[in-house]
Structure 1
C-alpha cells in the first residue's frame, strides 16, 4: 500500500495550515483545520505514531493527521489482517506473536460504530489494536471480524457501561494488563479526554493518549491529550527526536486510589476529595475515615484524643479473632472502630466520637462500647455536649453476648447524660445498622443524617431471606427515615459543620465572659478557629456589622438572616408561578364556598368577615412569621415512630438573641404545598412531634413559641386508628406542666382541640382578624341546625372573632395587623407579632418553673 512521504505538517496557533510543511498531507490537514478549533503546532501522520510510539514530545498537544493510503482491493483483506490478533479467552494474557512483537499495542476505547472506522487505518498503520468492551457486548455488531478485545467489566444497577468505560482506574488497568503503550479514545469530548486526573495518571505511566481532532468517524486527524500541568508547550523538534518519558511512578497503591462502596469503581483520591467526597460516577457520598471527618468538622488543631488504646476483648476465644483484629489494624491503620476525644467547632467545646466503617465495618464490640460510654461520662464531668458520628454494621458477632451488652452499657451512659441536661447529637452516616441503630444512634436529642445513608436495624438481606418480603424502593435510606419520622433532618455534608455549630450554640450556656448568639457563631465560622465570641477582630466590615446589630437591638428590630441548612422562604413569591398559585387557591376557596352553599360577602366587622379573612389564601402563613421573627431557624422533623407531619413546622432558633423552640401549624404557601401539608390539619404524628420538641425544650430550659393556624385536627380513618384523640390529650396534659415559658399566637384559624393542643400557654394572643372556636361555623351549623348554609349566623353565635374572644377573657391580647388585614401588609403584621412575643417573654423571664406552671394552670382554671 502506498503511503505519503510526509510525516507531519504544521498549523499556527489558531489551527490554520502552514503550507510549507509537507504538501502531501495538506488536503486532509486543511479539512481538519476547518472542522476544529486547534491550538496545536505540529500535525503527524498516523504511521508516525507507530514509528515513534515511545518517543512522543514531552510538552506538546500534537495533531496527528492520517496518511493518505490506497484502499485494499479486496474488502476481506482488512478482515484477515485483523483476525491475526484474536484473543481466545477473556482474562488470558495477551500473547505476542513474532508478527506483532514489533508493533506498538494500542487500547481503543470506542463505540462499535467508531471502532469499525478505526480498525482499518490503525491496522494499516502498523498498530496492534485491542478494543475495550463492556460485558463483552460492546462490539457485537461486527464480532464476525474477530477483533481482539479486552473486557472492562460488567454493568450493574450502580454502574453503567458509560461509567465503566469512562473510569480512570479501569481503563489504565486494562492498558497495563494487555500491554498497551497507547490509548485511543473515540471523541475529543469523551469523559476521559477531558479528565485531567486520567491524563495525569496516563502520563506518569508512560502511556500516550489520543483522540480524534473532531467529532465523527471521518478520521481527519488525531491529537495527543496531555495534562494541563505539562504546559502544552509547542515542540521545537520532531517528536521522535525528543527524549523518552521518564518511567511511570508506582501510583497504584491505596494512597492514590479510593474505591466507591456503591459502584465499586476506583477513583483518584484527589478527585474524590475535590468532588466533596462524592463518587464522580454514581454520585454516592463516600465513607470517611475519622481523620477526614474530623478535618471537615472540627476547628483545625483542636482535637484531643481520649482513650486512644484500650485492651482488646475476646470473651468467646473465637478462633482467629485476635489475628483478624491485628490484620484490620495493619490494613486500615486504625486502632479500633471508633475514635473519641474533645474538640471545638466554631470555638464551641464538644466531646466527639467518630465511628470507623473501615475497621470491621464499624462493628460494636467491647472496646467500641467502652470508648463511647467513657466519652459520655467524661463529657458529664467536664459539662460538654456530645456529638457522635455513627457508622456501623451492627454488633461484633465474634464477641457474642458481650457485644450485645454494649447496647445497654452505652444506653445507660446516654441516660446519665440526659439527667445532666447535656445535649446528645448523633449524625447517622452510611451505614448505620444493627445494634448501633437500636441503641445510641437513635437516642440523640437531635438526630441528623447524611443524604442517602443506609439506616436500619435488620439488614435488607436478612429481611428478604427470613420473611421473603419485597422491599420498597429507597428502603432504609436517610430519606426513608426522614419520611417515616425517625430522624430530625438530612444535612448536606458541606453544611454539617455549620449546622452542628449552630446546634451547639443553641445549647451552650452563656456567662458573663461570653454571650452565645447566632451572629457570634456565624462570625466564628467565617473568621475561623479561635475567634469565637470576640468583638475585637480588626476588620472594618465586622465592626460595621456589630454597630448595625447594636442599632437593631436598640430599636427592637430583629435582623432577617439566612437560615443554616435551608432558608425558610417567604409565604408568597412575586413571580408568575406564585401568582398562578394564588389564582388557583382563590378558585379553590370559591368552589368550597359554593359547595357549602354560602354566597356573598360578609358584613363589615362581623364574625363571618373575620372567618373569611382568616381563611384568605393570600394571608401569610406561619412560615412567613418564622422567617421574620426567628434567626437561624433549623427545622426538626418527625415523631420518632411513624411519620413526619408537614402540617406541623417545628424547630429551634433565636428570638432576640435567646434560644427558643418554635412549633407552628403550617397551611402551605401554594396549592401543592397545601395539599402536602394537608391544608394545615395535623395528624397524630404532628402532635407527637410537637410533644417531643416541647419535652426537649423543657430539658434544655428553652422557651416555646407556638403559632396556631388550623381549621382543626385532621379527621379521618387513619388518624383515628393512630390515636388522634390520644395525641391531642397528651399535648394538653404535657403543656399544663411544662417548666419553661410558653407563648401562643393565633395567626388565622383556631379550630377546636386541634388548635388548643398548641395553646395551653402562659400567654395567648390573637391577630385582629384571626378566629377561635370550638368548631368550624359550618360544622356548628350542620350539627345544631342541620343546615350548613347558616355558617355566617353560627360564626356570630359562637363569638369567634378576636374582639369577642378577648372580651370573653380567653386570650390575653389582640395584635394589630396594621392598616389592613395581614395579607395586605404582611411586614407590619409580622413585626407586630414579633414585638408581642418579645414583650411576653420579658414578662415571663423572672418567673420560676413552679410559678410558670401555677400561672398557666390558674389561667385556665378561670374558665
Structure 2
C-alpha cells in the first residue's frame, strides 16, 4: 500500500521515480487522495512522512493517479472535507474525492445553485448570494464554509488556489485543526495533492470585519496593515479614533488631553444620559472625540480625532469643549493642529447648546490662526451638518479621504425638503474637490506622509520663534526642517503602531541622521537678518552648497543688448519669439516645478466655486527653504490643454492663487510665480463670476504682501492675466518668453483691423525678452541654453532655479515694510 500512497515530484518539474535511491534535495511529497483519506480518518494510526523526511525514504516510490486503484474496495463516506472547486474539472474532482473514502462538501452561491457537479457531493455549503472570483478566494468564506460542514481538510482548486500561499490563512486553518491541500503545481487536481502549511505565527487574536462596499470579510490584521482599505474593492472602511491614532502617529507618541469633562443635559432630554452611558459601555470612549498631542515623523502636533461610532460623531457640548481646548492649548504651546472630522452634525439632544459649539470652536480656531499657527482639517466619512459648517472647513489646508461624504444638509433632507434631484457623486470628496471647496483628496496610504511633509513645510516656515521663550516641550522637533529629513524619517524611523504591529519592522536609525542638527548652529548668526534668513541658515549643507555653486555664477544685472530699435525693425525676429513662446513642445510650468522644487504638494480650489486647472498652486522646498509656488499651466498634450483651458485662467484660478498668497504671508513663506498665459479667459461665464474683480483683488493683495515675491515668465505673458501673478519684488523672463499688453493678433485687430499683421504688431509692441529688459520692466533675461527651452529643458530649469534661489536669498534680509516699499518703488518707476 505504501508504494501506492505517495508520488514524489521533483522541484524542477516532472514525476521522479525513486527506486532505492535517496531522493534529490528539494523534492516535495505529492499525496494521493486515498492516502489523505486514511490519514484524516486515523491520523494516529499512520506514520505518514512529511515533505522533508520523505526525500530520504526509499520505501515510497512513484505511483501516478489520484483516485483509489481499481483493486481497492470502495469505503463508506469518511471524514468530511471541503472541496473548493467549480471549474471544468469540478465533477471529476468531487467524484475522485468521494471514491477515495472522504465525504466531499462543495461551496456554491445562490445564483449558481443548479450546477451539475453539486449533486456528486456529500453536501453543499452556500457561501453567498452572488458569485465572484474574490468570494471563492476569500479566507473568511473558506474557513466559515469549512466550519459549517465540519470539515477536517480543505482542498483548494480554481480561484481558491491563491490561498495556498497566504500565510495568515494557513495559520488560521491550522489553529482550527484543518489540513489544507492544493493540486500539484496548482494545475493538476487529478494527478496529486501537496499539503500547504506555514512556519509563520501571528500573536493577534482572530478578528474579522466585513467591507460595507463589497460585503467580503477580512481579518483585522490584513485590514489594519492596508490602512483599513478593502483588499478586494479598494473601498475605505470607517475607522475608530484609536485606529486613526495607531495608523497615523509615531508609535507611543500620543498623550491624551482633557479626559473626564463633566457631561451636561441642557434640555433634560428623556433618556439622553442613559444613552450616553450605553454608548460609553459599547465603544469604550468617553465622547465622540479624542484629543491630545503626538508626533508624525517626529514633528510634534496637537490632534483631535472624531469617532463616528459614538453617537455618529455628533457634536455636543463636551465635544465642542474638548476641540476648543485643544486649539487653545496648541496656541499656548505653539503647535500646529490636525483634526480628523467625522460627524453627523450637531447633537439634537442638546439643542441650542450644541449649536453654540460651532461658534465656540470657531473662536478658538481664530485665536490659533492669529498666532500664525497651522491648522490642517482632514475630512473623513461622514462629515455633515454643523461640523462641516464650522471647523471642518476652517483649516489653512483642508483635505479629504476618497469617497468621504461631505455636506451641510444631507441628501435625504434636501430631497424631502425641496424635492430636488441631485447629481451623480453629490456631496462626495471628489465632488467637493471639483467645486474648489477643499485642497486635495488624499488616499489613506499617503495620508501620513502628506501630513508629515505639509507639517514640515510649515514648521520650517515658523522658525522665527526658535529663539523665543516657550512653554516646556513646545516645538521640540524644530530641527526636522528639510524635505529629505522628513522623507528619511517616514521611510526608516518613527513607525506607527499599525506599521510596527502589522507591517515590516522599521530600521532604527540614529536620531541625528533624521534631522539637520549639524547645521542648526548657524541659526544664531542669522537671527538678526530676519525669519527668512533663518530658514536659509537651516537648509541642508549639501543641497545648499550645490545651489550656491550655481548662484556664484552671477548673471549680469543687464545683459548686452543691440542698440534700441534694432529688434523693433525686425518683425520676423519678433514673431519668431512669439512662436517659440507658444511652441507646443516648450516645457510647461509643471515640468519646471518637477525640476526645480522638492516635495511639491498641490493645493486646489478657491473655497468658493471651483478649481481652475489653468493655475496650479501648492507648497514645496527650494534649496531647503519652504516656499509657496503658483504657476499658470497650459498642459503638456491636447487632452490636458483642454482640461486646463489652454492656460487661460478663470476667476476661481485667481482667487485660488490669492488664497495661497495669503496663506504664504501668514506663515512667512516666500512666493514663487511662474507666468505662462495668453491672457485671462474672456468668456461670458468668467465675466459673470467676476473676472475683472478677481484680477483686481490679486493686484491689490500682491502690492501689500509682507513676504518676498519672485516671478519668472517662462512662456507667454499676456495682459492683466499675466500681471496678476507678476506684481513682484523681482521679475525675470526666459530669453524666448514674451510679455505684452495683449496678443499680437488682438493688437493688430484692434489698431489695424487686420489680424494678419500680427508679426508686425509683435515687433511694434516690443514684447520679446530683450526688448522688455531694455525698457527696464524685468530684472533679468534667463538663458535657455544653446537653443530654445524645449531642446534642453534641464538647462533652462537650472537657470530659473539659480535665479529664484539668488533672489529669495537677497530679499530674505529685508523686513516686511522694506519688501512692500521696494515693490511699490519698482512699479512706480514705470
Q: TM-score range by the shorter chain?
A: 0.7 to 0.9
Secondary structure in structure 2 of the residue aligned to 1:219: strand
Aligned ranges 1:550-699 → 2 under 5 Å: 551-552=545-546, 554-556=548-550, 606-699=573-666
Contact 2:95/2:120, CA 8 A, preserved across alignment = no
Aligned length: 746
Q: Give the one of 379, 392, 397 matched to 2:348.
A: 397
**1:171 pairs with 2:142:** yes
Q: Does 1:65 align with 2:66?
A: yes
1:195 to 155, 159, 166: 166
Task: Note closer, same or farther for the CA distance 1:428–1:756 as it changes in structure 2 (3 Å cut).
Answer: same
- Write the mapping of 1:260-299 to structure 2, written as runs, cut at 5 A: 260-299=211-250
3-state SS of paired residue (1:221): strand
Q: CA deviation at 1:709?
A: 0.8
2:562 is aligned to: none
> Compared with structure 1, are the counterparts of its residues 527 and 117 closer, same or farther at alpha carbon in structure 2 (3 Å cutoff)?
closer
CA contact (8 A) 2:125 2:148 kept: no
Deviation at 1:387, TM superposition (A): 1.1
Question: Residues 632 and 119 from structure 1, CA distance in 2 versus in 1: closer, same or farther, beyond 3 angstroms?
Answer: closer
**8 Å contact from structure 2 (residues 37, 78) kept in 1:** no
8 Å Cα contact 2:30/2:184 also seen in 1:
no
> What is the CA-CA distance between 1:686 and the residue it aligns to?
1.1
CA separation of 1:128/1:404 partners in 2, compared to 1, >3 Å: closer, same or farther?
A: farther
Residue matched to 1:412? 363
C-alpha spacing 1:105/1:38, structure 2 compared with 1 (3 Å): farther
Moved more, 59-68 or 827-836: 59-68
CA distance, structure 2, for counterparts of residue 301 and residue 625 of structure 1: 40
Report the CA distance shift for 1:649/1:66 in structure 2 as closer, same or farther (over 3 A).
same
Q: CA deviation at 1:411?
A: 1.7
Residues 1:55 and 2:43 aligned together: yes
- Bigger mean CA offset, 363-372 vs 116-125: 116-125
Match of 2:32 among 44, 68, 71: 44
1:106, 1:180 within 8 Å by CA — same for their partners in 2? yes
Q: Secondary structure at the match of 1:220?
A: strand
Asked if 1:518 is matched to 2:483, the reply is yes
Q: Give how far 1:613 is off.
A: 1.9
Q: What's the CA shift string for 1:407-445, capped at 9, x where partnerless? A: 222122112211221110112233333332222121110
Q: Secondary structure at the match of 2:613?
A: coil
Structure 2 residue aligned with 1:357: 308
- My pick for the range that moved more, 660-669 or 467-476, is 467-476
Give distance in 1, aligned partners of 2:625 and 2:115: 69
1:836 aligns with 2:803: yes
Q: Distance in 2 between matches of 1:67 and 1:557?
A: 83
Q: Specify the SS of the correspondent of 1:180.
A: coil
Deviation at 1:129, TM superposition (A): 3.6
- 1:455 pairs with one of 406, 409, 414: 406
CA distance in 1, matches of 2:673, 2:48: 70
**What pairs with 1:455-494 in structure 2 (closer than 5 Å)?**
455-463=406-414, 472-494=423-445
Q: Distance in 1 between matches of 2:642 and 2:743?
A: 20
8 Å Cα contact 2:358/2:386 also seen in 1: yes
Quote the Cα distance in structure 2 between the aligned partners of 1:262 and 1:394: 23
What does the per-residue CA deviation read over 1:714-745, in whole Å, with 9 as the maximum and x for residues that have no partner?
22233233332222222222222322222222
Query: Which residue in the other structure is 1:116 paired with?
Result: 91
Q: CA deviation at 1:141?
A: 5.0
Query: Relative to 1, partners in 2 of residues 1:58 and 1:487: Cα closer, same or farther, differing over 3 Å?
Result: farther
8 Å CA contact 1:305, 1:340 repeated in 2: yes
Q: Deviations for 1:522-566, whole angstroms, at most 9, x for unmatched residues?
A: 4544564554545459xxxxxxx96634532542469xxxxxxxx
Would the aligned equivalents of 1:739 and 1:852 in 2 still touch at CA under 8 Å?
A: yes
Q: CA deviation at 1:143?
A: 7.2
Structure 2 CA distance for aligned equivalents of residues 456 and 802 of structure 1: 49
**Of 135-144 and 161-170, the range deviating more from structure 2:** 135-144
Residues 1:548 and 2:501 are matched in the alignment: no
SS in structure 2 at match of 1:764: strand
Change (3 A) 1:214 1:551: closer
Cα distance in 1 between the residues matched to 2:735 and 2:18: 86
Are residue 814 (structure 1) and residue 785 (structure 2) matched?
no
Q: 1:144 to 1:105 in 2, by over 3 A?
A: closer
Distance 2:2 2:772 in 1: 101
Deviation at 1:153, TM superposition (A): 2.2
- 8 A contact 1:188–1:213 mirrored in 2: no
CA contact (8 A) 1:164 1:170 kept: yes
What is the distance in 2 between the residues matched to 1:105 and 1:464? 54
Distance 1:421 1:547 in 2: 28
Confirm or deny that 1:162 pairs with 2:99.
no
Number of the residue aligned with 2:15:
16
TM-aligned CA deviation for residue 464 of structure 1: 5.3
SS of 2:699's equivalent in the other structure is helix
Q: Unaligned regions of 5+ residues in structure 2, if any?
A: 55-63, 468-477, 495-510, 520-538, 553-568
Q: Match for 1:209 among 173, 180, 205? A: 180
Q: Does the residue aligned with 1:191 lie in a helix, a strand or coil?
A: helix
The equivalent residue for 1:151 is 126
Q: Report the CA distance shift for 1:297/1:787 in structure 2 as closer, same or farther (over 3 A).
A: same
Instruction: State whether residues 114 and 186 of structure 1, in contact with CA within 8 Å, keep that contact through their aligned partners in structure 2.
Output: no
Alpha-carbon separation, structure 2, partners of 1:321 and 1:151: 43
Compare 491-500 and 364-373 and name the one that shifted more. 491-500
Kindly state the Cα deviation for residue 327 of structure 1 after the two structures are TM-superposed.
Answer: 3.3
Cα distance between partner residues in 1 of 2:314 and 2:721: 45
Match of 2:789, SS state, is: coil
Please give the root-mean-square deviation of Cα atoms over the aligned residues, in Å: 3.7
What CA distance in whole angstroms lies between the structure 2 residues aligned with 1:377 and 1:663? 32
**1:717–1:317 CA distance, 2 compared to 1 (3 A):** same
Is residue 634–residue 645 contact of structure 2 (8 Å, CA) maintained in 1? yes
CA distance 1:525–1:377, change in 2 (3 Å)? same
User: CA 1:852–1:476 in structure 2 vs 1: closer, same or farther (change >3 Å)?
Assistant: same
CA offset digits 1:182-201 (Å, max 9, x no partner): 33333386233333222221
- Aligned equivalent of 1:760: 727
- Deviation, 1:759, is 1.5
Aligned partner of 1:220 in structure 2 is 191
C-alpha displacement of 1:749 = 0.8
**Cα 1:162–1:828 shift into 2, 3 Å:** closer
Match of 1:385 in 2: 336
Alignment partner of 1:130 is 2:81: no
Deviations 1:434-480 (A, max 9, x none): 33222212111011233343433344455555556665554443333
Which secondary structure does the structure 1 equivalent of 2:619 belong to? strand
Question: What is the CA distance between 1:667 and its match in structure 2?
Answer: 1.6
Whether the 8 Å CA contact 2:136–2:159 is kept in 1: the answer is no
The separation in 2 between residues aligned to 1:319 and 1:250, in whole angstroms, is 45
- Shift of the 218–344 alpha-carbon distance from structure 1 to 2, 3 Å rule, reads closer
Q: Following the alignment from structure 1 to structure 2, what is the Cα–Cα distance between the partners of residues 13 and 143?
A: 34
Q: Is the 8 A contact 1:53 1:182 kept in 2?
A: no
In 2: Cα distance, 1:144 partner to 1:470 partner? 50
SS at 2:463 equivalent: coil
The structure-2 alpha-carbon separation of the partners of 1:16 and 1:739, relative to structure 1 and needing over 3 Å to count, comes to same
Choose which of 267, 275, 292 in structure 2 pairs with 1:341: 292
1:367 to 294, 318, 331: 318
For 1:259 and 1:713, how far apart are their aligned partners in 2? 51
Q: 1:310 aligns with which of 257, 261, 273?
A: 261
Query: Aligned to 1:380, what secondary structure does the other structure show?
Result: helix
Is the Cα–Cα contact under 8 Å of residues 105 and 180 in structure 1 kept in the other structure? yes
Question: Structure 2-normalised TM-score?
Answer: 0.81
Give the deviation of 1:625 after TM superposition.
2.9
Distance, in Å, in 2 between the alignment partners of 1:119 and 1:300 is 50
The secondary structure found in structure 1 opposite 2:285 is coil
Alignment check: 8 A CA contact 1:425 1:445 kept: yes
